[in-house]
Amino acid sequence: MPPLGWTSGGKKKIQIQLSDYHFEYTECDVLGSRWRVAIPNKADTCTGLPDPVKGTQCTFSCSEGEFLDMRSQKCQKCAAGTYSLGTGVAFDEWDSLPTGFVTQGVTVNDWNAHTDCSNSTWTPKGDYVASNMDECTATLSYAVSLKKPGTVFFEYFYPDNSIYFEFFNIFLIVELNKGNNVLYWRTTTYTVLDSAVKPVLLRNIAISGVAYTSECFHCKPGTHSTKPGSARCAPCPADTYSTKGATVCHQCEQEAGSGSCKPRPPCTNSDYFYTHTPCDSEGKTQLMYKWIEPKICNETIEGAVVLPASGEKKTCPPCNPGFFVTNSSNCEPCTSGFYSNGTACTECPVGTEPVVGFEYKWWNTIPSNMRSSILRPEAINSNHNTAWEVAGEYVYTTPGDQDTDYLMLILNVPGYSLPQSTVKDRERSELSRITFVFETICSADCKLFFLAGYNEWNNNIVERWNGSNRKQSYSYLIQSNSTVTFAWTFQRTGKFNTRKYSADVAKIYSIYITNVVGGVASQCRRCAVSSGKADSACVPCPAGHYMVNRTGECKSCPPNTFIKAQHPVGQAACIQCGPNTIRNKAYSSCLSDCTLDMQTRGGTLLRYDFSPLSNVTGFNSSPRFTSKGLRYFQHFRVGLCGKEVRKLWLFSLFGKFYVTPFLTCCFSHTGPSSSYVCGQCNREWERGQRLCLSVHFINSVLSCEGVTTDTTLGGISSPHGLFPATSGLPDVIFYYKSSETTQACKEGRSATIRLRCSPTVTAKDHITMPSNCSEGTCDGCSFHFLWQSQHACPLCTKNHYKEIVSACIQGIQRTTYVWQQPLQCYGGESLPAQKVSACVPLDLWLKFGVSTGSIAAVLLVGLSCYFWKKTRKLQYKYSKLKMTTGGKECELPTADSCAIMEGEDAEDDLMDLTKKSFFTKMKSFSREVSNHLTRMELQISQPSMFHVVNVFSEIIRRF
C-alpha cells in the first residue's frame, strides 16, 4: 500500500481544495437519471478531482427558501440574511458578473475587422449592470435549463434613443420553454449626432422553472431576513437601515430601505411642492403645500424652512369644456349630442354637430385618463412617484429625488373617430390633432420631450425642447388610428445631482385633442344636412364644395382648386392649385399628371412626359463614418408624379432601431401609387441584414406646391448654385411643402426635386444631392435633390433634327435626317427614315450646256458677219442717195423705177416666217430692210445720225 499522499506509481498527489472545483449534473438520459461530476475552476487542474457519482433523479427539486447542497445532494434551508426562490433564480446584486453570465463585445461591420471591441461589454455597477456606450455590439447572455415551463422577469431602464437595445423577447415577463434556454441582451450604440449617450441599465433578473438553486442569495442593503429558509427579504422599516445580508435592521434617522445612515440636511424650498385641492362639496378649492416623499430633510434645525401654510379657500374654476358641475361639485362629461363651456350642457341645434374631443385648461385634478410617473436612471428605491402636480391654471413638474429623473405625464386616448359630416370623406379630413401650450423655466441643461406611440413603453420622440422656452403652442397631426398614448417627459439635467435644480420646471397650460372616441364637445359647428327635415343628419358637402357658414348650403369651389381645411366653411377653404398641377379626384390636394408644356423665351413650345419616372425609387447618400469607423448612409425614397398621387411624405422614426432584411420608414395611406419622400439612416448589420436609425423627423406630410422652371415658388427656393447647370435648357423643379411646424423648422419642411435633361443617362434613378449638403439638407428643414435622366428631357419634335441632301451619284440622290447637337430631347417624334430619289447627273447637263453654247456662238458670229455685209451695202446706198440730192434741203431725189409707187401697200411684202427655212427668212428680212430704207430715202431730204439709229432699232426689233 503506497504511503499517504502518494500514488501507487510513486507520484505525489496534488492537494485539491474545495474552492478549486464545483459540482454540476450531466444531461438527463432517457431513463431520467444523471451523474454528479466535479468541474475544475481552473483550466490547469486536471487531477485529484472527486470521482463522478450517481446524481438525483431529474424530477428532483427544492422548495422556496431552500438550496441544493451538491456535496450531499440534499436540500438545505437558507441561512438567516439570505433567501432563495426554490424553483427559481434571482440576480439583484451586480458587484461582479454572477456565475453563468457571459458578456462579450463584437464589431458590427465585418469589413472593418480591425476595430477592437473586446472591452465593449456589459459592466456590473453594484445594483445593476450597464451596457456599452461605444459603437460595438455588447451581448449579455445566460444559459439555463428548466425542468418545466417558466418565466424570466427583469427590470431595465432605456434612457437614450442612440442605443439599439434588443432582448429576443421584448416583454418584461417572458415565457420560457422546458429544457435548455439561452437568454440574450444585446446593445449597439450609434453616436451619429455626436453627443454623449447613456447606457441601458439592467437589474433584478428572476427566472422561474428551474429544478433547484445551488446557492442562496444575500439580502440587499435596506432589507433583511430574520429566519432561516426565507423565500425573500423584507425591507427595513422607516428610520432603520441594514447592510448586505442583514438579519436585523438598525435604528437611525434615515428613509426606509437605506443601507447606511446620513445626517438629514436642513429643509429648503426644494423639499416641498404646492398643489390645489379638488373642489369640495361647497365648490371651494385651496392651495396647499406638501413635503416631497420620502422626506430627507430636517425642518427643526437651524436654517431650515418650514412648510408654508395653506392658502385661503377660493371658488373652484369651471369644469373643462365638455363637462358640467354636479351637485357634489364634481365634473361629469356631457352626453352625446350636447356641448358645454364647463358649466352646463346644451343640446346642439338642428343643422349643427358637436366638435368632439378633449380639452383641458383647468387643472384642479389630474384627469382620469392622465397619470404621472417617474423613470430613474439611477437604480434606487423610492416612494416618491409624483412627477406632475395640478396648480389651477396649469400642471407642472414637482421636485424629484434626483435631478436626472425623467418626470412623465401620460395621456391615454382610446382611439379616434371622424365627425358624422366627414366620416364618408376620409381623404380630405384630418383624423386627429393634438395641440398644447407649454413653458419651461430652467437654469441647467433641462429637456422637455413630447412622445407618441402605442403605449408608454413604446413611444417615439416627436419633438424636444432644450433649456428655457417662453410660453408657446405646439400642434401635432395624428395620421394613424394606432397612436393611442402621448407623453410629456421632463429632465432637469443629465448630470447626477440631488435636488440641485429643483426650481427648474416645465408647465403645461392646456391640451386639446380632436376627434377622440368617447370624447366630449366644447362647441357645435354648422354642417350640411341630408334633407330639409328637422331631424335630418349631418352629411359632408360633395367633393369640391364648401359650406356657407350661415345657411349650411354647399357651393362648388372654383376650377382647379382643392379643399384643404378640415371643415370647409367659406370660399377661403378652396385653395388654388400651383402652376402645372391639377387637383385630384378627391379634391383634397394637387398633383402632377407627369406631363408639362413649357414655352421658352424664344417662343418654342417644349412638351415633357415624366411618366417613366412616376414609380417610387430609392437612393442613398454618400457614406459617412462614425468615430469607430462604422459606415452609415442616408436612404431616401422618392415618388414623383402619377394620376392618383395625392401627397408627398417625409416620415421617419426618431431614434428607434429595427433589424430587418431591408427597412424603409416611408408610409402612405393612399396606396402604392402615392408620392412621398422620406429620410432614414440605414446601417449594415451582421448576416446581411440592415439596421435602421432615422434622425430627421417624424410624420410630416408634404403637398405638391407646383411644377415650374422658376427657382422660387411659394416661399420655397431652389438656388442654381446648389446644382450648377451644364446646358442652356432650364431644369424642371417639383416643389413640395409641409405646413406642420416643429421647434427646428419654424416654417415647416420643404423639398425640391430638380429634373435635369441628360440624354446619355439611361438609369431612371440617377439622383444626387448638393455637394455642400451630402445628406440632401443643410438645415434639416429644406431638402434638395437633382434627378438627371433622359426622361427629364422634352419630347423630340421636327425642330430637333435637320436634313442632309447628298450629291447625285449615278442618277440617285439620298436625303438623311440627323439630330441637332447638342441633343436636348428624348422620345416624341423619331428621326424620319432616309429618302432615295432619282436625279440627272451633273456631267450630262454640263455637256449639254457646252454644246448649246458652242452652237449659239457660231450662229452669233455668222449673223454678225451677215449684218456687217448688209450694213456696208446700205451705207453705200445712203451715200449715193445723199449725193443725188444736190445739197438742197426739203428736196427729194427723183424716184427710181424700183421705188414704192403711190398707192402700193407695204404690207403686201410681209414675210411668211412660219413656213420658210431660217436662211430664207433671213433673205426675206434683208429685202424688207432694203424696202424700208428706200421708203426712208423718199421721206427725208437730209439724213442725220438720229435717223440712222432709228433704222437700226427697227431692224433689231423686227429680227
By mean pLDDT, which of 76-90, 487-501, 735-749, 900-914 is the weakest? 900-914
Query: Is the pLDDT reported for residue 457 higher than 70?
Result: no
Query: Is the pLDDT reported for residue 612 higher than 50?
Result: yes
pLDDT band at 579 (very low <50, low <70, confident <90, very high): very high
Number of neighbouring beta carbons within 10 Å of residue 171: 10
For residue 618, is it within any domain?
A: yes
Query: Is the pLDDT reported for residue 361 higher than 90?
Result: yes
Could you tell me how far CA 164 lies from the centroid of its own chain? 20
Share of the chain above pLDDT 70, in %: 73
Query: Is the pLDDT reported for residue 401 higher than 60?
Result: yes
Backbone CA torsion sign across 485, 486, 492, 493: positive
Cα–Cα nearest to 368, from 319, 306, 313:
319
E strand or H helix at 852: helix 842-884
For residue 76, is it within any domain?
A: no
Host domain of residue 819: 801-838
Statement to judge: residues 810 and 725 lie in one domain: no
- At residue 146, the pLDDT reads 82
Statement to judge: residues 567 and 639 lie in one domain: no
What average pLDDT score do residues 676-689 get?
A: 35
Mean pLDDT is highest, among 153-167, 346-360, 481-495, 934-948, for: 346-360
Statement to judge: residues 511 and 539 lie in one domain: no
Q: 692 vs 438, which has greater pLDDT?
A: 438
Confirm if 759 and 790 have CB atoms less than 8 A apart.
Answer: yes
pLDDT band at 944 (very low <50, low <70, confident <90, very high): very low
Q: 455 vs 447, which has greater pLDDT?
A: 447
Confirm if 364 and 317 have CB atoms less than 8 A apart.
Answer: yes
Give me the phi and psi of 939, to 5 degrees please. -95, -20
Query: Is the pLDDT reported for residue 693 higher than 60?
Result: no
Statement to judge: residues 755 and 819 lie in one domain: no
Count of positions (residues) in the chain: 959
If DSSP states are collapsed to H, E and C, what string results for 58-97?
CCCCCCCCEEEECCCCEEEECCCCEECCCCEEEECCECCC
Q: Which amino acid is at 332?
A: E
Q: 440 vs 144, which has greater pLDDT?
A: 440
Half-sphere exposure for 858 (CA within 13 Å, toward CB): 5
Interior angle at CA 414, CA 410 and CA 419, nearest 5: 125
Q: Quote the cell numbers at residue 303.
A: 436654517
Q: 367 vs 570, which has greater pLDDT?
A: 367
Averaged pLDDT score across all residues of the chain: 76
Examine the fold and report which residue of 211, 243, 278 is the final residue of a domain before the chain moves on: 211
Total domain count, the chain: 6
Distance in angstroms (rounded) separating the CA atoms of residues 431 and 481: 8
What average pLDDT score do residues 689-701 get?
A: 40
What average pLDDT score do residues 257-274 get?
A: 77
Q: Which residue has the cell 402636480?
A: 389
Q: Quote the cell numbers at residue 914.
A: 412660219
Backbone CA torsion sign across 97, 100, 106, 108: negative
Q: 488 vs 767, which has greater pLDDT?
A: 488
Statement to judge: residues 701 and 741 lie in one domain: yes
DSSP codes joined into one string, 553-609: -EEEPPTTEEE-SSS-BSGGGEEE--TT-EE-TTSS-EE--SEEEEE-TTS-EEEEE
Q: Which amino acid is at 87?
A: T
Statement to judge: residues 364 and 286 lie in one domain: no
Query: Is the pLDDT reported for residue 388 higher than 90?
Result: yes
By mean pLDDT, which of 76-80, 178-182, 274-278, 834-838 is the weakest? 178-182
Share of the chain above pLDDT 90, in %: 15
Statement to judge: residues 805 and 780 lie in one domain: no
- Torsional class of 828: left (φ above 0), alpha (ψ -120 to 50), beta (otherwise): left
For residue 957, is it within any domain?
A: no
Buried-state track 908-926, b at ≥16 Cβ within 10 A, e below 16: eeebeeeeeeeeebbebeb
Distance in angstroms (rounded) separating the CA atoms of residues 850 and 330: 124
Query: Is the pLDDT reported for residue 520 higher than 90?
Result: yes
Statement to judge: residues 412 and 509 lie in one domain: yes
What's the CATH number where 737 sits?
A: 2.70.130
By mean pLDDT, which of 343-357, 395-409, 491-505 is the weakest? 491-505
Q: Quote the cell numbers at residue 909.
A: 411684202
Q: What is the pTM of this model?
A: 0.61
What average pLDDT score do residues 200-205 get?
A: 82
E strand or H helix at 947: helix 945-958
- At residue 631, the pLDDT reads 60
Radius of gyration of the chain (CA): 52
By mean pLDDT, which of 124-128, 486-490, 814-818 is the weakest? 124-128
For residue 321, is it within any domain?
A: no
Q: Quote the cell numbers at residue 243.
A: 447592510
- At residue 461, the pLDDT reads 76
Q: Quote the cell numbers at residue 331.
A: 365634473
Peptide bond into 943 cis (omega under 30): no
Cα–Cα nearest to 79, from 215, 204, 182:
215
- At residue 133, the pLDDT reads 79
Which of 172-178's residues contact partners 24+ apart within 8 Å by CB, and which partners? 175/149, 175/150, 175/151, 176/144, 176/146, 176/149, 176/150, 176/151, 176/152, 176/207, 176/209, 177/146, 177/149, 178/146, 178/147, 178/148, 178/149, 178/209
Statement to judge: residues 716 and 825 lie in one domain: no
What average pLDDT score do residues 850-874 get?
A: 83
What average pLDDT score do residues 265-281 get?
A: 85
Examine the fold and report which residue of 758, 792, 826 is the final residue of a domain before the chain moves on: 792
- At residue 510, the pLDDT reads 95
Buried-state track 616-649, b at ≥16 Cβ within 10 A, e below 16: bbebebeeeebebebebbbbbbbbbbbeebbbbb
Distance in angstroms (rounded) separating the CA atoms of residues 517 and 484: 11
Confirm if 520 and 321 have CB atoms less than 8 A apart.
Answer: yes
pLDDT digits (tens, 9 = 90+) for 886-911: 555 555 555 544 444 444 444 444 44
pLDDT digits (tens, 9 = 90+) for 143-169: 887 878 888 887 777 666 555 555 533
Statement to judge: residues 715 and 608 lie in one domain: yes
Distance in angstroms (rounded) separating the CA atoms of residues 943 and 401: 146
For helices 918-939 and 842-884, the axis angle rounded to 10 degrees is: 30
What average pLDDT score do residues 641-670 get?
A: 36
Q: Which residue has the cell 389651477?
A: 392
Confirm if 270 and 399 have CB atoms less than 8 A apart.
Answer: yes
Backbone CA torsion sign across 163, 168, 169, 174: negative
Statement to judge: residues 575 and 605 lie in one domain: no
pLDDT digits (tens, 9 = 90+) for 10-50: 444 556 676 778 888 887 888 878 888 888 877 666 777 88
Q: Quote the cell numbers at residue 827.
A: 422620345
Distance in angstroms (rounded) separating the CA atoms of residues 106 and 120: 8
Query: Is the pLDDT reported for residue 355 higher than 70?
Result: yes
Mean pLDDT is highest, among 564-573, 769-778, 787-796, 865-874, for: 787-796
pLDDT band at 816 (very low <50, low <70, confident <90, very high): very high
Confirm if 375 and 157 have CB atoms less than 8 A apart.
Answer: yes
For residue 640, is it within any domain?
A: yes
For residue 42, is it within any domain?
A: no
Q: 682 vs 956, which has greater pLDDT?
A: 956
Q: 914 vs 924, which has greater pLDDT?
A: 924
Cβ-Cβ contacts under 8 Å for 112 (sequence gap 6 or more): 629, 630, 631
Interior angle at CA 386, CA 381 and CA 389, nearest 5: 165
- At residue 952, the pLDDT reads 52
For residue 25, is it within any domain?
A: no
Examine the fold and report which residue of 558, 588, 618 is the final residue of a domain before the chain moves on: 588
Cβ-Cβ contacts under 8 Å for 730 (sequence gap 6 or more): 598, 600, 709
Q: 318 vs 945, which has greater pLDDT?
A: 318
- At residue 434, the pLDDT reads 93
Distance in angstroms (rounded) separating the CA atoms of residues 683 and 823: 41
DSSP 377: S
Could you tell me how far CA 898 lies from the centroid of its own chain? 120
What's the CATH number where 364 sits?
A: 2.60.120.260
Distance in angstroms (rounded) separating the CA atoms of residues 679 and 85: 50
- At residue 627, the pLDDT reads 58
- At residue 525, the pLDDT reads 84
pLDDT band at 471 (very low <50, low <70, confident <90, very high): very high
By mean pLDDT, which of 264-273, 521-530, 611-620, 890-899 is the weakest? 890-899
Statement to judge: residues 364 and 290 lie in one domain: no
Q: Which amino acid is at 541?
A: C
pLDDT band at 672 (very low <50, low <70, confident <90, very high): very low
DSSP codes joined into one string, 885-914: TTT-TT-PPPPPTTSPPTT--GGGG---TT
- At residue 28, the pLDDT reads 80
Confirm if 609 and 598 have CB atoms less than 8 A apart.
Answer: no
For residue 82, is it within any domain?
A: no
Peptide bond into 317 cis (omega under 30): no
